[in-house]
Each structure stands twice: as structure tokens, then as C-alpha cells.
Structure 1
Amino acid sequence: MLKRSIITIAGSLLVVGMLNSCAPTQALKQENRTVPDTYQGSSDSTNSAEISWSEFFNDPNLKALVDTALVRNQELNIFLQEVLESSTEIKARKGEYLPFVSIGAGGGIDKVGRYTREGVVESNHEIMEGREFPEPLGDVTFGLSASWELDVWKKLRNSKKSAVMNYLSTVEGKNFLVTQIVAEIANSYFELLALDNQLAILKQNIQIQKNALEVVKMQKEAAKVTELAVKRFEAEVAKNQSLIYELNQEIVETENRINFMLGRYPQPIVRSSAAFPDLMPKLIEEGVPSQLLANRPDIRQAELALEASKLDIKVARAEFYPAFRIVGGIGYQAFNPRYLVTTPESLIFNLAGDLVAPLVNRNAIKANLQAANARQVAAVYDYEKSILNGYIEVANQLSKIDNLQESFALKSKQVEALTQSITISNNLFSSARADYMEVLLTQREALESRMELIETKKQQMNAMVDMYQALGGGWN
């Protein structure tokens, strides 16, 4: 009868616990994964992002720089440690739904007052061959203990799955960092080539201006021009000579920016600048927008973080339900070490189970669930934002590539015309059919146009790299 009453009471408590532990429900916010079918009307699924960076870039010097950066870049190595840290969280979460087993030993002594309840009991009991309890009474223990929370509501397993998703999200974050490093090194490398070529053009133009200065000096001696013309040409030469030092400084800073990404102290960057004017940007195949969901690491990172947030809601909701736990232990205990392993007299063991459910003050649990819901909603917006951002980046780069191509063609014509006009203006000036200012302005415009042409070439190469990154290339 007593056993039946206990079972009835336990069952009633379980029902009450279940009724009072019902978690508040809130529908998950669903993410919008839809993207436009195409970028510019093309439906070709060929995608340049599937090409590895080592195949995408042809310059062996650039490849060597990227290879070094992927080994020595400090920011990347820091992130790799964060990835390692995230992987240990999986092991920790996995261990939570396995039994905890520990081994322990202990010892101590205890003396009670003779005129106390315990003292009277001990003085009136004899043990082992008529002897009284030892005074003080020793206590030596040795044994194993175990506890195991039954994962009935999958709280622990969902917690482990969430850790896995967070780990994979961190891996994708590392991949996204790799794409940024590859793109930044490539862009800085092309900038360095452009600066070298602009420096060479500037030196060539200074030589042309020096020759023109000598002509002007002879014209002055012949009284065909005044001292003003000579001074204007001397000022132009001095101005362009000062630009050499500005370009040299930019070259040093660009080299050191690359060295920093390579995790090394300043040193010259090996490069082949002479071929830069003839470089042609690689043709980029953009594929279809839906491929961004699989190719871009930042989008996959946001997606995995979203999945982790959904699992975190399940974990937070499971806190409202009763927790089932089994505890037990086995070992030896005696008042004297020589009796410690006496079996079965010194053998001790226990086995118990308990059920615990939140009943009255559940505000903290509700707050955790509300926070998990808020994080899930934020993760949805972050995922949708990453998709939108990826699509816009590709669309921008497609437009930029087309516009730069047209701009480069027109600037090439401008350079050709102004280069020819230098010879024409010099001939006209020599025959006194043109003013010295026309010669000066023609040389200045020719220099600016050649510098702008190199700048446009650099922008074309950068747009190629940025497009490759925007499509999700560079991490594989």
C-alpha cells in the first residue's frame, strides 16, 4: 500500500511538473532565400568563383605573395585559433549528455562529546571483539561516483548540434577572411605595378620637359621668347620632379602594406611591372545569383549562425521541462585504513534518481527564451542582409567592369592624340607658330592622360579581383 502511494504521489508530481513547465511558444521567423533569377539577363551557370585562386591569377610573383600570406598572416592565424576554440566547444557539449564518472578518496577524524546524543550512542555500542568506538573516530573512503542526466527533451543534443553549427560558421568566417586577404594582396600588388609605371611615365615626361626647356632657353637667347617662358618651364620641371618623391613614398607604403599582410618586416616586393600596361583583365563568368548561397563564405556563415540560433531556442524551451537525473556510487568506507577493503563489511554503494522541474520563479528561464528568440530573428535579418549585400556587390562590379572598359578605350585614344600633339606643338613652337604656353599645356595634359590611363588599368584589374571575391572566389 505504501509503495502504491509513493508511486501515485510521484506520478502526480510529474503531471503537475509537466503542466506547470509548459514553455511559452513563439513561431520562428522564417528567412527569405529568394534571389533574382539573373544579374543582367544572362542565365549561364558557369561561375568563375569555382576556380581556385592559384588558377585565377597568372602572375607567379603574386601567387608567391598569396601563398606566404596564407601561412604567416597574423589575423588569419588568430582566426584559426578561434576556429580551434570553437571545435573544443563541441567536445564540451557532447560530454554533457554522457555520464559523468569521477573517482575520489578521502580521510578524516571526528570526536563527539561524551554527553551528547552521538556520544551516548557510541559509548553504549561495542564493535569488533567487545571494543568501544575508537575515539576520535576515523573515516577513510575510496570509491567511484557517477551522475547522468537523461536527455529526454533533447536539450543536450540540441546544444551540441548548436555548437557544431557555430563551429562550421566560424570555419566559414575563416574562409571569408581568406577571400579578403587574397583580394587585398592582389589589389595592392596591382596598385604597386601601377605606381611603378606611373613613376616611369613621370621620369620620361620630365626628360621631355627638360628638352623643351633647353629649346626655350635657346629661343630666349634668340630673343624670340622672354625670361617668363624659361621660368614657367623650369617650374614645370621642378613640380614633376617633386612628384617623383610622392610616388616613391606611395610605393614604399604599398610594399609595406603587402609585407604586413605577409607577416614580415619591410622588404622589397618582387614584381614584374613592365608588363602591366599590356595586362588584360580576366573574363569573369558571373553565373546565376542563386550560386551565391553556396559560393560566398559570408552567406554560408550567416546561414549556419541562423541554424544555430534555431537550435538555441529549442535548448532554451527545454529548460521549462522536468530534468531527469540518475546518480550512483560504489566504494569502500571504514574508520581504520586496514579495514578499508574488507568485503562486504566496508563496501558501500548507492543508486538514486530524481526529477526536477521549475515551478514558481521561472522569470530567468523566460528571459533566456526571449533572448534566444530575439537572436533568431536577428540572425534571419543578418542572413537576408548578407544575401542582398552579395547580390548588390556583384551587380555593382558587373557595371563597373563594363564602364571601365569603355573608359579605358576612350582614354587610350586621348593618350594617343596628346602624345602626337607634343611633337606637333614642339614643331610649331620652333617655327614660331605656337606660343610656349601651348607647348607647356600640351605636355602637362599628355602626362595627366598617361597617368590616368595607368590608373584606369589598375581599376580594371581591381574590378576583376573584386568581382572574383564578390562571387565567392578566393577561399578554396
Structure 2
Amino acid sequence: MRSKQIVTWLGVTLSITLINTACKTPALVTKTENRTVPAAYVNTTDTARTNGPVAWSEFFTDPNLDTLIATALRNNQELNITTQEIAITRNEIQARQGEYLPFVGLRGEAGLDRPGRYTLQGATEEAVTIKERRTPDPLPNFLVGAFASWEVDIWRRLRNAKQAAVLRYQSSTEGRNFMITNLVGEIATSYYELLAYDNQLSILKENIDIQNNALRIVRLQKESARVTELAVRRFEAQVLHTREMQYSVQQRIVETENRINFLVGRYPQPVVRNSQSFVTLTPAVVRAGVPSQLLANRPDIKRAELDLAAAKLDVQVARANFYPRLDITAGAGFEAFNPMFLLSTPQSILYSLAGGLTAPLVNRLGIKSAYSSANARQTQAVYNYERTILNAYVEVANQLANISNLENSYNLKTQEVTALTQSTDIANTLFGNARADYMEVLLTQRDALEARFDLVETKMQQINATVNIYRALGGGWK
């Protein structure tokens, strides 16, 4: 009796030791994210807090642009693909939720069994006389019942996996918001580029008229022997060069229109716009606020944060694989060798209930590798989160500096255009009075054309810088 108790205690002790050994997890080096950001942007004194991102319909006042954006939010293929990816992650939540609930299924069986003569069951049956035999030979069997299995989530492995799926669903939603922000910004940028190209084309046409008029004058002067054929050829070359530039700008207009049409999700067609308003456009004033607001306003930062939280839960799920797993199975139903007796109670009733505790003990390399990989992915998520914050800060800082420098550049370029336009008029007058060389007229016209081109380019960059700062601050997705 005493030896039996000793064996029992040894078995219990050995079981506890094995379970403790199985529950030990390898030590890993973890990394904690750094959430601190500077108090203000460099080279700026704007520390006022904004009221959050303004909706794109309020920020952009051009009705043609608003129509394009609204159409793109309905028809853009990439955005619609992302919407389906969100639906996939939402279904993943339901799948994970079902894993920690009991699985219950109905089962019906019908079979026929006859054991062999030289088996234990067959030999036993043979030993019984025919008169004493109670079971048919062969033996039918009919079964109808419900059977359930349930993994008791004592370590929250399944619930953590479900919560990680919820976080990734929210992350995919923020990813869609970030895509909307970029889509709105890209359409607005392309639209303003299109307006700029229209104005450049108008400038070229005006210059072609001016240069043709100058060419007509210089031809008359050649007939009166005031200039040579060289002057005529130089003026002709200038007209041809400007006409060549016209076709180049027309090609940019076609490509920009098609890029907008692609973003909107339609085949190439003319883009409705009012190019006349481009000259009077004034860049909107956007308050940058403080860098800490980026954490709440930028969808890509919120997405990185949610991915990080999901990666942390993945580590918990991987760690739980080292712990014992408790499974419970149960069943209830009716079973009989004759269908007539199938519903006879209580003789045909069957039921079962069992519980099992399983812990990994030998060859745990797979579990250790999965745990190490989950920890490595968490570290990756930390670096990605910090990189996303840093990138957002740099984007805003760059655009703030860009807006300031472009404002100064535009003011100086305006003065340059005014001076060169006056110089062109003066050069034409002097040339007509034979007091200026034709080269002075050509150079002045060329410089004036380039300056007007640059002025339109600078205006476009100003407007686009405003769009970029709006996007960088997290606007556009609401």
C-alpha cells in the first residue's frame, strides 16, 4: 500500500515538473517605442493648437476640383481595392472570435459491423451459443447526436488573437484614410498643375503674336535696308522656338488631364476647369499647430500605432503556446443497432464528457521560433512607428519652409516680370527708331517669356505647397 502511494506521489511530482518545464519561456530583448516629439517645428513661431484637420470640401473652394475629388472617392480603383481589404480584415475578426467559443456540430451515422472470427470480439461471440446470442450478426449501428469541443482560453491566447485582428481592422481603416489623404492631395496638385499649364500656353500664344509682329517689322526694315537677313532669320528662329514650346506644353496638358482622369477612375476626357482664376488664386493660410497633434491627426501614424499594438498582442499569443492547453469535449445523442430502438429512452441515450490538459515538452523549437519571430515583428513595428512620426515631422517642416521661401520668391519674381515687360516695350520702341540692336530685342523678349513662365511655375508651387502642408498635417480624409 505504501509503495503504491509513493508511486502516486512520484507521478504527481513528475507531472508538475514537466508542466513547469513546459511553461518556461525563453528570455527575449524587447524594445519600447519612443513617443516624444519636439515642442515646435524648426524655424517657426506658430505654436497655436489647431482644431484638427479641415474636411477637403471646406478647404478647397473650387467647385470643379471638388467635383473631381468627390468622383474619385467613389470610383478610384485602388481605393475600392483597399475597401475590400478592410472587409477581409473584418471577416478575420469574426473568424478569431469563433475560435474561443465552443464548436458544436450535429452528426448522423449508419453503419454495419461484423468482427472477424479470429479477433477477440469474434471469438467471444463464437463462444456464446446461438440461442443465447442477443446481438445481430452482422451488427448494424445508427447514431444521431450533437457533439461539442471547446478550448478553454485560460491564457487569453485566443482572445488576444481576436483583439489583434480588431486592431489590424482598425489599422486597415486608417490605411484607407491615409490613401484618401494622398488621393485628395494628388488630385488637387494635378488640377493646379493643369491650370498652370493652361496659363503658360496662353503666355506662349501671346508671345507668338508679339514675336510675329516683331518679325513683320524686321522684314519691313530689311526691305528698307535698315537690317540684314541675319536679323530676319534670328527673329524667325525665335518664333519657331516659341511655337515648339507650345506643343511641349500642350503635351503636358494632355498627360496631366489623363492622370486626373485615371485618379478619378474614368477614361480620358476633357477636365472641366476655370484657368482664368489661377492668376488670382491666393494660397490658403494653414496653421501648423504643434507636432504632438500629428499623433492624433495623421492616419499613417495612427495606423503604425495600431500595428504596434497588434504586434504586442501577437507576442502574448506566441508566449501562450508554451503553456498547457485545456480542451473539453462533450457529446449527447441516440445510438442503437435497430432504427426502431433509436429513440427509445433511456436505453438508447449516449453522452460523453472529457477534458484534456496538453503542454509542449519535447521538440519546442517551432514554438520558440514563432515566439522569437513575433518579438522581432514587434521590434519592427516599433521602428516603423518611430519612423512614421519622424517622417511626418520632416514633411511638415519642409513644407513650412517651402511656403515661406516660395512667398519671397514669388514677390521677387513678380517684380522681375514687371521690369522685363517694361524692358520689352522699351526695346521694341528703340528698335523701331533704330536706336537698339535686334539682339537686344530678342534677348529681352526671351527673358520676359522665361520670367512669366517662372512666375506661373512659382504660383503653382505656392498652391501645391499649401496642398502639401494640408496633407502633411493629416487633412483630407474626413
TM-score range, shorter chain: over 0.9
TM-score, normalised to structure 1, is 0.96
CA contact (8 A) 1:284 1:468 kept: yes
Of 90, 95, 99, the residue aligned with 1:87 is: 90
Pairs within 5 Å for 1:157-176:
157-176=159-178
Greater Cα shift, 5-14 or 117-126 = 5-14
Tell me by how many angstroms 1:238 deviates: 1.4
Q: Is 1:400 the counterpart of 2:402 in the alignment?
A: yes
Tell me by how many angstroms 1:41 deviates: 4.6
Residue 234 of structure 1 corresponds to 236
Tell me by how many angstroms 1:132 deviates: 4.7
Q: Is 1:109 the counterpart of 2:123 in the alignment?
A: no
- Distance change in 2, residues 1:469/1:314 (3 Å): same
Q: Is 1:379 the counterpart of 2:364 in the alignment?
A: no
Pairs within 5 Å for 1:41-440:
41-42=44-45, 44-47=47-50, 49-124=52-127, 132-440=134-442
Q: Secondary structure at the match of 2:323?
A: coil
What are the Cα deviations for residues 93-147 of structure 1, in whole angstroms up to 9, with x where unaligned? 11111111111112222222334332232345589x9655323322221111111
Q: Distance in 2 between matches of 1:408 and 1:176?
A: 31
Greater Cα shift, 102-111 or 384-393 = 102-111
Q: Distance in 2 between matches of 1:162 and 1:288?
A: 31
TM-score, normalised to structure 2, is 0.95
CA contact (8 A) 1:33 1:384 kept: yes
Greater Cα shift, 377-386 or 241-250 = 241-250
Q: Distance in 2 between matches of 1:337 and 1:442?
A: 108
CA contact (8 A) 1:316 1:365 kept: yes
Residue 16 of structure 1 corresponds to 18
Tell me by how many angstroms 1:62 deviates: 0.5
Which residue identity lines up with residue 442 of structure 1 in the other structure?
T
Residue 461 of structure 1 corresponds to 463
Q: Secondary structure at the match of 1:331?
A: strand
CA contact (8 A) 1:126 1:133 kept: no
Greater Cα shift, 38-47 or 177-186 = 38-47
Which residue identity lines up with residue 106 of structure 1 in the other structure?
E
Tell me by how many angstroms 1:336 deviates: 2.4
Q: Distance in 2 between matches of 1:284 and 1:409?
A: 20
CA contact (8 A) 1:99 1:147 kept: yes
Which residue identity lines up with residue 77 of structure 1 in the other structure?
N
Consecutive unaligned residues of structure 2, counting only runs of 5 or more, are none
Q: Distance in 1 between matches of 2:129 and 2:381?
A: 71
Q: Distance in 1 between matches of 2:338 and 2:93?
A: 45
Q: Distance in 2 between matches of 1:78 and 1:411?
A: 44
CA contact (8 A) 2:21 2:361 kept: no
CA contact (8 A) 2:46 2:287 kept: no
CA contact (8 A) 1:49 1:469 kept: no
Q: Distance in 2 between matches of 1:395 and 1:446?
A: 34
Q: Distance in 2 between matches of 1:251 and 1:41?
A: 36
Q: Distance in 2 between matches of 1:433 and 1:455?
A: 34
For the aligned residue pairs, the C-alpha RMSD in angstroms reads 2.0
Q: Distance in 1 between matches of 2:129 and 2:78?
A: 73
CA contact (8 A) 1:48 1:468 kept: no
